[in-house]
Structure 1
Amino acid sequence: MKQAIVARTDIGMGQGKLAAQVAHASLSAYEKADKRTQRKWKNGGQKKIVLKGSSERELHELSEIADHKGIAQSLIRDAGHTQLEPGTVTALAVGPAEEDLVDRVTGELPLF
């Protein structure tokens, strides 16, 4: 079991903003997973990786692929209170799900 969080690299988020957006994505996708998947992921150590995404379009495309494969996912839009304009897409979490399923969606992306 694993979760992959894809964070955009093209919008200049500071480290704190990046950390917050990754956390939002992780929790949001976890909450969308079914109870069995949640339990399995939690009991397995909550494995997660953070990957680089190059654009909003890329995150939308990955979100659609995950959705099509039936994998819990969550696309995060910033509220716009600090560094970014309201509604800016910042991150996407894919999973938790079986590791091979997550890798089919995000396996080609570089680690953050």
Structure 2
Amino acid sequence: MKQVIAARTDIGMGQGKLAAQVAHASLKAYEYADEDVKRRWKAEGQQKVVVKASGERELYAIAEEAKQRGLPSAVIEDAGRTQLEPGTPTAVAVGPAPDADVDQVTGDLSLF
């Protein structure tokens, strides 16, 4: 079981902003998982992997593919309080779900 979070590389987020957006995406996607998946993922150590997304189009393509496969996912749009304009899509999380299922959606993306 794992979760992969893809964050945009094209918008110049600072390290703190990036960390916050990844955390938001992780939690939001987790909330969409069913209770058995949540329990299993937590018991296995809550594996998370952060990868690079080239831009907004790729974020939404990842989210759409996850949705089509029935995987929990969430796109985060920034509130616009600091570095970015309100509504800027920043990250997408896929999972928690079985590794192979998540890899079908995110396996070709480079690690951050």
- TM (norm. structure 2) is 0.99
- In 1, distance between residues paired with 2:37 and 2:80? 32
Say whether residues 1:44 and 2:47 are aligned partners.
Answer: no
Q: Provide the residue aligned with 2:63 in structure 1.
A: 63
Say whether residues 1:26 and 2:56 are aligned partners.
Answer: no
Measured after TM superposition, the shift of residue 35 of structure 1 is 0.3
Identical-pair percentage: 64
- In 2, distance between residues paired with 1:26 and 1:62? 14
Q: Provide the residue aligned with 1:4 in structure 2.
A: 4
Runs of 5+ unmatched residues, structure 2? none
Measured after TM superposition, the shift of residue 110 of structure 1 is 0.2
In the alignment, residue 29 of structure 1 is paired with which amino acid? A
Q: Provide the residue aligned with 1:82 in structure 2.
A: 82
Measured after TM superposition, the shift of residue 52 of structure 1 is 0.3
Q: Provide the residue aligned with 2:16 in structure 1.
A: 16
Measured after TM superposition, the shift of residue 78 of structure 1 is 0.1
Q: Provide the residue aligned with 1:97 in structure 2.
A: 97
In the alignment, residue 104 of structure 2 is paired with which amino acid? R
In the alignment, residue 30 of structure 2 is paired with which amino acid? Y
Measured after TM superposition, the shift of residue 80 of structure 1 is 0.1
Structure 1 outlier segments of 4+, above 4 Å = none
In the alignment, residue 101 of structure 1 is paired with which amino acid? D
Runs of 5+ unmatched residues, structure 1? none
| Equivalences, count | 112
- TM (norm. structure 1) is 0.99
Q: Secondary structure at the match of 2:65?
A: helix
